[in-house]
Structure 1
Amino acid sequence: MENLVEIRDLKVEATTDSGRCVDIIKGVSLDIAAGEIVALIGESGSGKTTIALTLMGYTRSRCRISGGSVRIAGKDMVTFSERERAGIRGTKVAYVPQSAAAAFNPTKRIIDQVIEVTRIHELMPVEQAKEKAIELFRALSLPDPDTIGKRYPHQVSGGQLQRLSAAMALIGAPKLVIFDEPTTALDVTTQIEVLRAFKSVMKAGGISGVYVSHDLAVVAQIADRIVVLRNGEVQEVGTTTDILSRARHPYTRQLLAAFEPRPRGDEIVVTGREVLLEVNGLVAGYGPLQADQLPLIRAVKDVSLTVRKGRNLGIIGESGCGKSTLARTIAGILPPSTGNMIFENRKLAGTVRQRSRDQLREMQIVFQYADTALNPEKSIEEILGRPLTFYHGMKGKKRDTRIEQLLDMVHLPRSLRHRRPQELSGGQKQRVNFARALAAEPKLIICDEITSALDTVVAAAIIDLLKELQRDLSLSYIFISHDLSVVEAICDEIVVMYGGRKVEEITPADLKAPQHPYSKLLFSSVPKLDPQWLDSLKLDPELIRTYGHG
C-alpha cells in the first residue's frame, strides 16, 4: 500500500530559558499508508503531540524542526514556506485539538467557525458548507444537528464542543486528520458513538489518521498500528493486536500494566466519619430567572449528597448531565438558585465573594481544562506562589522552598518553575493545576476530570499520590469524571447523574450490578483493551433510545 505520510529522521529542538538547545524529538521515522490510522502513545512529554504537529509544519513556541523530512503525498512540510503550509492546513491536513475550548472563538456562532476553512480556501459556497456541516453534526451524534450550529460555544457542553471541533477538521475533506486526544472530554457512552463515527467517516473517505492518545482502550478500537514513544524516541512499532497482546519493549509493557484495573483494597485510611460537606436540594443553572425564581436552564435539579471526612465521593455521568455545574456550584463559582450547603458544620455561602478566607482555603477546585485554567502570562513559579502568599502570607525563601515541594509532590521537575503554561505538555499543565490547589492546604479538593489529560502511567501515579496525600493530610475528594476506572480506584461512594438529577448512589463494589437503567448503559460502555470490542458491542436498543444521543 502506498504511503501518504513518510517521516524520516525527524529532529525537533527546543531552546531553554538559558538559551541552550535541547533535542526533544530524536531521529523519529515512521510511515502512514493511505487510509491507515496510526496511534502515537506514550507518557506526557514523550513527543506525541510534537511529532503530530510537524505534519502541519508547526512547532510550539521556542521549538523548531532541526533535521529530517516530513513528507505528505511526496511534499516535504519542512521545506515549505509558511504560505505553502497555510494552503495545506485544513484541506490536505486537519487537526482536532485536545481542548476544544481553546479552539473556538466565544464571540462567534459555532456554524460560522466550523465552515470558516471552506471560506478561507474557497472550497464551496456558504450554503453548501452549512449543509455539509449539518451532515457532519449528525454523523458525529450531536444533538439537534439542524440548529446546534446557531449556538455560541459556551451554550454547549464540553463533550459537544469536542465533537464540533472534529466537524471543523473534517469539513475541508482532508487526506490526513490529526486527532490530539479528541475523546478526552467525552463520557463513555458518547465516546462510543464518536469513535464509531470517526471510523466510519475515515474509512468511507479513505482518510489517513494520526491518533494521539494515552488511552490504550480507545486506541485499540480505532488504530491499525501503534507507535510507542518515550523521551522523543520510538520504543516500539507494531499492529494494534501485536502491541496489545505481544508487546516486546519493557516500557510498552509498563503502559499496559498501568491500564489494568487497580484494586482499591483498604489503602485509604479513614480519619473520621464526621460529615465534612452536606448538600441539600441544590438547584443551579443558567439564563434569566423565571416566574418561579428558578433559572431558564436548570443544569442541576434537586441534588443532595454528603462527603465525609477522609472519604471520597465520585460523580459520574455523560457530558451535559450537570456534574461540572454541580462542582462549580459547590465551589461557589456559580450561585445556587435553591438548596443549601453545610461545610464543617457551618452554612456555606453561595458565592466565593461571601465566603471567608478560611472557607476558600479549605475547599479548592481543580478544573478540567488546563489550557483555560492557567494564566498564560505568568510563570509556574508565579502561579504557585500566589496562593502561598494569599492564604499563608509566604514570601521569599520560604515561598520558594514550598514551590519546590509542591512541584515534587506532583512529580514535576523543579526546573519547570520558570516556564510558562504554553511551554508545558497537557499533562504537565494539569499537574500544575493540582499543585496550585495543594498550595492552599485544603480539607476538600473538587477534582473536575483532573486525570483526563494524563497518560495512564502518570494518571496511575497521580491516583497513588492522592491516596498518599489523603493519608498524610486527611484530605477528602469529590471526583467529577467520566473515567470509571479512576472513580472506582479511589472513591468510597459514587453518584450517577443524568439530566441534572442524581439517579443512583452506589459503592465501587456495586459497579457490576447497577440498578438504574442509565447506570447499566454507562458501565457497559467502558472500552476494553480489545480491538474487537467496539465492533462487537451490542447495547440494549431501548437504553440507547432512552439515554443515547440521537
Structure 2
Amino acid sequence: MGAPLIVQGLSISAGANTLVDNLSFSVQPGEVLALIGESGSGKTTTALALMGYARHGCRISAGRVQIGDTDVLVLDAPRQRALRGRTVSYIAQSAAASFNPSRTIMDQVIEPTVIHGLCKRAEAEARAVQLFRELALPDPETIGDRYPHQVSGGQLQRLMAAMALIGDPELVILDEPTTALDVTTQIEVLRAFRRVVRDRRATAVYVSHDLAVVAQMADHILVLRDGKMRELNATGQILSAPEDDYTKCLLAAARPVPRASAKAANDDPELLLHVQQLSAGYGPVDAQGRPATPILQDIDLKLHRGQAIGVIGESGSGKTTLARAVAGLIKPSHGSVLFRGHELKPTLQQRDRDELRRIQIVFQMADTALNPSQTIERILARPLQFYKGLRGEPLKRRIRELLDLVKLPQTVAGRLPGGLSGGQKQRVNLARALAADPDLILCDEVTSALDTVVAAAVLELLAELRRELGVSYLFISHDLHTVRAVCDEIVVMQHGRKLAQVARRDYERGPHHPYYELLARSVPELRQGWLDDMDRTAAGAT
C-alpha cells in the first residue's frame, strides 16, 4: 500500500546553476505521476531527490519531500539510506548495468530484505517467486537460479522491478524503464508494471520522454523544461487540450511525420549496394567457415543511390550485425556485399581508402562513439585529414561548414563531448560521417537514445541531408513509426532472416507479413486506453 507523496518548493543546484527550480506537486496512493520533458529538463534529478539523493556536484538547496509521515530531506545520511529500498525504491533505465553479473538473480532480488532485515531468506525467496508471477516472468520457481546474462533484456527489466518491490515500498520511482527495450518487449513490461502498481496500490512516479508510453501508465503528467514546471494536469487533459506551448511541441514531436518523398529506383538506375546471400555471426569458425554463434542467414538486399531503406526487428534479429557486415566490422561467413558494382573485401583492413570513405556508420550511443578526451574540432579533423588531406585554414573552414550542416554553433568546436547534450553529440557523430563525403550512411538506432523533440530534429536533419547531398541511408531501428518517416522501403528481420520488404506506397495497405503487423501493432499510440485495447484483443484471440 502506497503513501501520499507531497513535494513543495523543491530546488536543486549545481554550483551557480539551478537544475530544478521551485517544483511542487503531490501523488496519492494508487496513482502514477509522469515526469516528462527533454534531456536535461530535470526529470531524473527530481526523481532522485525524492529519495533525498543528489548526484555528485549537485545539492538539494530548498524544498520539502514528504512520503507519508516521513520528511525525507531532514533525515541524516544513515536514515536516508535506511529509507531507500524500503520506503522508496528506484527502477533504473538500464537493468543490464544495474545487476551484478557474478551473482544469481535471486540473491540480488532479495537483497533489500537482507539489508533492511525485513524477513528470513526462505520468506524473502517466497516473496520473490510471487513477484515473478505477478510480473509474468517465465519459470517463476527457477528463474532466480539464473545469472543476469541468462535472461532477456525485458525479463531483466521486470526482475529489477521485483527487486524494487520486494520490500513493499510506499513510493516506486520508474526512470525510463522501457526506453532500451524493443517494442514487443516494451508492451510486456508496461503491462507488468501497470498491473503490479495497480494491484499493490503503490504511489508511483514515472520518468519518461515518451508521451505514448506515459499515456498508458500515468494518471497525471508534469511537464518539465529547464528545471521549471511548464504544465501539470490529468493525462487526458494534457493529451487532448495542452495549455503550454512547450507541451504542444512535445505532442507534435511524439510521432514522426514523413520527411522525404520516396525516390524510386528508376529515377536513378545506379545500384549502390547489393547484399547477396549474406550470412554472418560471432565466435570461432569451424572447418566450413561457420561461426559458433550464427546471426545472419542468407540476407538479400538492394539499395539504389539516393534511397533510404529501413531495417526493423526486435533485439537479436540481426539488424546491427547486418550493418556491421556491410561496414566491414565483421567478416561474413557466406555471401557477398557489392558496392557500386564491385565486390567489397570482407573486412575493413582489406578495403582501400576510397571504399572506407564511401560507407560510413553512425552508432546508436554517441556517448561511447566519441572520444571523451578530444575536442569536437579534433574529432571532426581526423576524417578530413585522413580522407581529404586537409590542413590549416581549409581544414578549419570545412569543420565550420560541417557544424553548420548539422546545425551546431561554431562554439561547439572547442568543447569536449562531455559538455554537449545527447542530441548535440549525435549531430557530431553525423558530422563526422559526413566529413568523408560518403555515398552511404549506416544509421544504427541513431534516435533511440534521444528524447522525442531532439529525435524529431535529427530525423528532419537526416531527410534534409538526403535531399541536399543525395546521401543514401540504411536506417536500422525497432521503431516502425520512425522508419516509416524517413525510409522508402522497409526490410523486416527476425531471428537473423529477412521476412519481408515493404515499399512506402504499401505502408498503410496490406496484407503484410504477420510479424510486420505485430511490430506495427506494438508501437504505443498517443491515446489513453491503447494498452487496454491491446489486452482485450489478446484476450479475445486466446
Gap change, CA 1:157 and 1:348, over 3 Å in 2: farther
Gap change, CA 1:272 and 1:149, over 3 Å in 2: farther
Alignment of 1:280-291 (within 5 A): 280-289=276-285
Are positions 1:478 and 2:474 aligned together?
Answer: yes
Gap change, CA 1:481 and 1:453, over 3 Å in 2: same
How many Å separate the matches in 2 of 1:92 and 1:202?
A: 15
Query: Which runs of 5 or more residues in structure 2 are unaligned?
Result: none
Normalised by the length of structure 1, the TM-score is 0.85
Q: Is the 8 A contact 2:2 2:30 kept in 1?
A: no
Q: Is the 8 A contact 2:173 2:206 kept in 1?
A: yes
How many Å separate the matches in 1 of 2:331 and 2:541?
A: 34
Alignment match of 2:334 (pick from 334, 338, 342) = 338
How many Å separate the matches in 2 of 1:390 and 1:130?
A: 58
Structure possessing the higher radius of gyration over alpha carbons: 2
Counterpart in 2 of 1:11?
A: 11
- Cα offsets for 1:295-317 (capped at 9, x unmatched): 33322222111222111111111
Query: What secondary structure, in the 3-state scheme, does the structure 1 residue paired with 2:437 have?
Result: coil
How many Å separate the matches in 1 of 2:254 and 2:137?
A: 29
Q: Is the 8 A contact 1:521 1:543 kept in 2?
A: no
Query: What secondary structure, in the 3-state scheme, does the structure 1 residue paired with 2:30 have?
Result: coil
Counterpart in 2 of 1:447?
A: 443
Gap change, CA 1:426 and 1:136, over 3 Å in 2: farther
Give the length in aligned residue pairs.
540
Q: Greater CA deviation, 164-173 or 216-225?
A: 164-173
Counterpart in 2 of 1:524?
A: 521
Q: Is the 8 A contact 1:315 1:323 kept in 2?
A: yes
Gap change, CA 1:226 and 1:400, over 3 Å in 2: farther
Counterpart in 1 of 2:82?
A: 87
Are positions 1:365 and 2:329 aligned together?
Answer: no
Q: Is the 8 A contact 1:312 1:492 kept in 2?
A: yes
Q: Is the 8 A contact 1:385 1:403 kept in 2?
A: yes
Q: CA deviation at 1:11?
A: 2.1
Q: Is the 8 A contact 2:135 2:196 kept in 1?
A: no
- Cα offsets for 1:65-109 (capped at 9, x unmatched): 333233333444444444443333333333333344544556666
Gap change, CA 1:54 and 1:429, over 3 Å in 2: farther
Counterpart in 2 of 1:22?
A: 17
Q: CA deviation at 1:444?
A: 1.7
Gap change, CA 1:315 and 1:99, over 3 Å in 2: same
Q: CA deviation at 1:218?
A: 0.9
Q: CA deviation at 1:223?
A: 0.7
Counterpart code for 1:200: R
How many Å separate the matches in 2 of 1:71 and 1:35?
A: 17
How many Å separate the matches in 1 of 2:343 and 2:412?
A: 40
Query: What secondary structure, in the 3-state scheme, does the structure 2 residue paired with 1:282 have?
Result: strand
Alignment match of 2:45 (pick from 29, 38, 50) = 50
Counterpart code for 2:67: I
Are positions 1:487 and 2:492 aligned together?
Answer: no
- Cα offsets for 1:151-210 (capped at 9, x unmatched): 666666655554554444444443333323222222222221111111011112222222
Q: CA deviation at 1:42?
A: 1.8
Q: Is the 8 A contact 1:99 1:369 kept in 2?
A: no
How many Å separate the matches in 2 of 1:254 and 1:467?
A: 20
Are positions 1:327 and 2:323 aligned together?
Answer: yes
Q: Is the 8 A contact 2:275 2:302 kept in 1?
A: yes
Q: CA deviation at 1:340?
A: 1.4
Counterpart in 1 of 2:302?
A: 306
Q: Is the 8 A contact 2:272 2:341 kept in 1?
A: yes
Q: Greater CA deviation, 146-155 or 296-305?
A: 146-155
Counterpart in 2 of 1:511?
A: 507
Q: Is the 8 A contact 1:136 1:167 kept in 2?
A: yes
Normalised by the length of structure 2, the TM-score is 0.86
Alignment match of 1:497 (pick from 488, 493, 499) = 493
Counterpart in 2 of 1:203?
A: 198
Alignment of 1:159-174 (within 5 A): 162-174=157-169
Q: CA deviation at 1:468?
A: 0.8
How many Å separate the matches in 1 of 2:457 and 2:225?
A: 17
Q: Is the 8 A contact 1:162 1:185 kept in 2?
A: no
Query: Which runs of 5 or more residues in structure 1 are unaligned?
Result: 16-20, 546-550
Alignment of 1:246-261 (within 5 A): 246-260=241-255
Counterpart in 2 of 1:18?
A: none
Q: Is the 8 A contact 1:104 1:113 kept in 2?
A: yes
